[in-house]
Amino acid sequence: MGIEIERRFLVKDDRWRSGATVTRLKQGFLSTDKERVVRVRLVGETGTLTIKGPTRGTVKSEFEYPIPPREALELLDTLCLRPLIEKQRYHLIHDTSEWVVDEFEGENQGLVLAEIELDRADQPFAIPPWLGIEVSDDPRYFNSNLATHPYCQWERK
C-alpha cells in the first residue's frame, strides 16, 4: 500500500522563488468523497490517475497509476468535477528538503501553498523563512475541496 505523509503551509512572501523550477499542471476529481478521492492529473505529456484514502492527521493511503495523456485530457474535459484545479508548481530545495510551492490559477487564484512530503509523520525538517501558518489539518486547503469550494468563494476578513 502507498502512503503519503505531507505537511502543507501558506506562503507569506516570494523569497522561495530564487532557484525554483516550474511546471504547469491541470487536475480534476472524479470523486471528492472524504473516504476516497480519485484524481486525474496532466503535467505536460504525463497523465496520472491517483486514488487517495481518508486523511489521518498528515498521513493517507495513496495509489498512483500512469495513464495515456490523451485519456487524462478526455477525463479532465468530460468527467471531472468543475472547476478544474490549474496551477504552477515550483520545485525547490530548502536546507536538505525538497519543497513544492503551488501558485493556483483560475477560481483558486491568489492561493499559494507550500508542501513537503515526509518519510514519517514525526520527521524533523527545517522551516523556511517564507512559510506562513500550517494548514495541514484544514480541509479547506485540500485540492479536492478547492475543486468543490474554490478559494474565490471563501469569505475573508
- Cell numbers given for 125: 525538517
pLDDT in tens, 118-131: 999 999 999 999 99
Altogether, the residues listed in the chain come to a count of 157
Specify the CATH number for the domain of residue 55: 2.40.320.10
- Cell numbers given for 85: 484545479
**Is the pLDDT assigned to residue 156 strictly greater than 80?**
no
- Where does residue 52 rank: exposed (0-12), middle (13-18), buried (19+ CB within 10 A)? buried
pLDDT at 157: 58
**Is the pLDDT assigned to residue 1 strictly greater than 80?**
no
Q: What is the pTM of this model?
A: 0.92
pLDDT category at 58 given cuts 50, 70, 90 is confident
Residues 114, 15: contact at Cβ < 8 Å? no
Pick from 107, 44, 93, 97: nearest CA to 73: 44
**Is the pLDDT assigned to residue 32 strictly greater than 80?**
yes
Say how many CA atoms lie within 13 Å of 74 toward its Cβ: 5
Pick from 107, 52, 59: nearest CA to 83: 107
pLDDT category at 34 given cuts 50, 70, 90 is confident
Which helix (DSSP H) or strand (DSSP E) does residue 146 occupy? Answer: helix 143-148
The total number of structural domains in the chain stands at 1
b/e map of 5-30 (b: 16 or more CB within 10 Å)?
bebbbebeeeebeeeeeeeebbbbbb
Q: What is the mean pLDDT of residues 9-23?
A: 96
**Residues 6+ away with beta carbon under 8 Å from 136:** 6, 7, 8, 9, 58
Mean pLDDT across the chain, nearest whole number?
A: 95
- Under DSSP, is residue 119 helix (H, G, I), strand (E, B) or coil? coil
pLDDT at 155: 84
pLDDT at 93: 95
d(CA 31, CA 3): 19
Q: Which domain holds residue 146?
A: 3-153
